Amino acid sequence: MTKIVVANWKMNPQSVKEAENLFKEVSKVASKTKNTKIVVCPPFPFLFISQKLKNKKIIMGAQNVSIDEGGSHTGEVSPDMILSMGAHYVIVGHGESRSRGESNEIINKKVLNLIKFKLSPILCVGESNRDKDGAYLSFVEEQIKACLSGVPKSQMKNVTIAYEPLWAIGAGAQREATKEEFMEIKIFIRKVISDIYDSKTAHTVPVLYGGSVNSLNAGYFAKEGGADGLLVGRDSLNSKKFEGIISALK
């Protein structure tokens, strides 16, 4: 399975000029990269940059989407808008969105909406606490089942799942996961998908790791941990660090 590296720029950078410069630098990195799919997810206002500064080695993605297809929904962005900007992937269910009250039911509507418009969801799942009794497994299972409700088996080939434990993301991250923790959850995620659909389907879905990813631990998760790719936040804003992450996958 081809490795996938997703650059989630979050609410960065703060100007078009900065975004263009960053995209140019990432493009240089992408041009030297083989056997790795690079997905760049900038803030909505900067999606146009990929059409201005074209690079076939970069696949564009969006950081969210509306549950609605269009209409009177101030501040929302529809799947069609994202498609028209040349994006193919969309992050949904990110821990930062969930922390602002986004429920599994809302995320499920977004997933179904994306599939309807032939966009590929990157579904984020992950617990806020890793307890000794294993309740976090039930928590992640519920997220997966609820968010994939109604998704046909035939469409699962377009779905990517990113495991990003909330205790490992953002400025207040406690620590990164260990390779054992990720390997356990990856096996568990595949089991849940297998229970919903079947084993063959479960093994076609890429499972990424996200949470304090950097050039020092990227290879650790992708090689020793068995991750099919990485969801990168902060270090995707620095082209040298991002290149180090991609190089670590080789």
**Positive/negative CA dihedral, 223, 226, 228, 233:** negative
* The one catalytic residue among 96, 127, 164, 243: 164
Is the previous residue joined to 13 through a cis bond, with omega within 30 degrees of 0? Answer: yes
Is 164 in the active site?
Answer: yes
Q: Give me the phi and psi of 156, to 5 degrees please.
A: -65, -20
Is 94 in the active site?
Answer: yes
Residue type, 141: E
* The one catalytic residue among 94, 96, 176, 243: 94
- Token duo for residue 80: 């069609």
- Cα–Cα dist 237/14, whole Å: 12
Tell me the three state secondary structure of residue 7.
Answer: strand
Pairing of strands 207-210, 160-163: parallel
176 secondary structure, DSSP code:
P
Q: Angle 139-198-89 (CA atoms, 0-180°, nearest 5)? A: 70
Catalytic residues: 94, 164
